[in-house]
Amino acid sequence: MSGVGKTTLANMLRDNGWFHYSGDYRLGTRYLNEAILDNIKLQAMQVPFLRDLLRSDSLYIENNITVDHLKPLSAFLGKLGNPELGGLGLTEFKRRQRLHHTAEVAAMMDVPDFINRARNIYGYNKFINDVGGSLCELDEPGVMELLADNTMLVYIRTNQYDEKQLIERAEQDPKPLYYREEFLDEQLALYRQEKLVDYVAMIDPDDFIKRGPAAQAHIDEFYEDFETIKQAGLDGLIITGANVTQPDLASEVFWEPLKEVYQWASENVTSVLCSCLASHAVLQFLYGIKRRHLGEKMWGVFRHTVEDRTHPLVNDVNTLFDVPHSRFNEVSTGQLKSAGLHVLVESKQAGVHLAVEAVFAEYRERVEEALQNTAPLPVFPEPEVTPFLHNTWHDTGEAVVGNWVGLVYQLTSSERSKPFMDGVDVNDPLAWLK
């Protein structure tokens, strides 16, 4: 049994002659007990008084987990983020998550044995398996089949009122959660991009935990799955960037699904506009061009020049404009041209706004000092910087995107299933405009 209210229902059944098997209690007492105790001892060793007692075997620590009190287990799982706020680093957090996954699998594999023990030892003919809330995410081969062979699988679906109450409780009192690693990587990348957080150690652990229910509610309201989009069709597609964790994009968890999107779009969508990381990804997928790490972050505002005024994408665009950059990787002009691609706008990395460099350097030093001393981060000196900034890229960006939308409109078929109008050469669609 899984879902909202499962433990409440399981307790009611226990009071009415059912054997109550708690998956969380089993993995907390049998499979994670040693890890839980080690975590408690690790914290206790930070206190000199307790450290001396532990080293002399004068202190005995036990895990007092119960069916109704799972705090030792949730405390072990922990929260991702700033260690000064009780958070864990990403490597340690994932290690504990993997331990939890292994323990949960083992606890579920124990169900047939406990059914027999409940009947033969305690005389119970009715058995309820109170599964951890993450059973829906448990895709270990053989587990679901074993449970289906020995029990009746029940999922308790909540109503809107109870779902709202559950989300409110989670936001008011955030508790550690179990994540599938792919889901964790996806949500972490979205969170870092949304919050402009460069390092996991800068994350507020409680704030990241709260993201779960709110993010899912937002996705349910505003997002569509890929299969639905494929059936409906698209005239144009914009693919944006994401934070990465691997040096090679092909090693990222999103790589295979992204390739599927690119492949479908190349055959069914009039035009695809890629920005940021998505540009590097499509170049690697379609042309085998791999981006190069710069060694240090390119950060600043750079002067750019339109190289080809005849292309319709850059109609009515200033020939000279600035663009902000903040990245560690690049694809060179030579790489693009060697693949037969047309470079429309280029920067010689000149024209960086040196006037504000001193202000940024001072602010960076203050941030580093605050992080070292676990002090609040200083406020960004926006009033001192704003007078030196001349935003020449906003109007240019609007013009390029406007030109792109106009081209899509001119070339796209009125039939959603066809990417181009009749008479348009799919290999050279812009020739139709000449």
**Closest listed residue to residue 92, CA positions, set 201, 244, 208:** 201
User: Would you state the pLDDT for residue 389?
Assistant: 67
pLDDT of 60 higher than 90:
no
pLDDT of 261 higher than 50:
yes
Are 427 and 284 contained in the same domain?
yes
Are 38 and 114 contained in the same domain?
yes
Percent of the chain with pLDDT over 70: 86
Q: Strand pairing partners for 330? A: 292
Are 281 and 428 contained in the same domain?
yes
pLDDT digits (tens, 9 = 90+) for 170-182: 666 556 667 778 8
Position 285 confidence tier, pLDDT thresholds 50, 70, 90: very high
User: Would you state the pLDDT for residue 111?
Assistant: 95
pLDDT digits (tens, 9 = 90+) for 336-345: 888 888 888 8
Are 283 and 150 contained in the same domain?
no
Instruction: Answer whether 293's CB lies under 8 Å from 328's CB.
Output: yes
What sections of 21-64 are H helices per DSSP? 23-26, 33-44, 48-55
Average pLDDT on 319-324 reads 83
Domain that holds residue 40: 2-157
Are 150 and 248 contained in the same domain?
no
**Alpha carbon separation from 423 to 50, 169, 176, 235, 266 (Å, rounded):** 81, 59, 58, 17, 18
> SS3 of 432, please?
helix
Pull the structure tokens for residue 361.
Answer: 């350097």
Are 265 and 130 contained in the same domain?
no
Percent of the chain with pLDDT over 90: 24
pLDDT digits (tens, 9 = 90+) for 303-315: 888 888 888 888 8
**Closest listed residue to residue 185, CA positions, set 93, 103, 274, 248:** 93
Instruction: Answer whether 306's CB lies under 8 Å from 374's CB.
Output: no
Are 137 and 231 contained in the same domain?
no
Instruction: Answer whether 208's CB lies under 8 Å from 171's CB.
Output: no
198 is a domain residue: no
Cα 269 from chain centre: 27
Verdict on whether the full-model pTM lies above 0.75: no
Are 241 and 337 contained in the same domain?
yes
373 is a domain residue: no
**Alpha carbon separation from 307 to 207, 324, 348 (Å, rounded):** 45, 19, 12
Instruction: Answer whether 111's CB lies under 8 Å from 105's CB.
Output: no
Q: What count of residues does the chain have? A: 434
Are 261 and 400 contained in the same domain?
yes
206 is a domain residue: no
Residues 112/113/118/124 CA torsion (nearest 10 deg): 30
Last residue of one domain, picked from the residues 109, 139, 157: 157
Domain count, the chain: 2
99 is a domain residue: yes
238 is a domain residue: yes
User: Would you state the pLDDT for residue 258?
Assistant: 92
188 is a domain residue: no
User: Would you state the pLDDT for residue 241?
Assistant: 80
Average pLDDT on 401-418 reads 88
Q: Which helix (H) or strand (E) holds 79?
A: strand 79-80
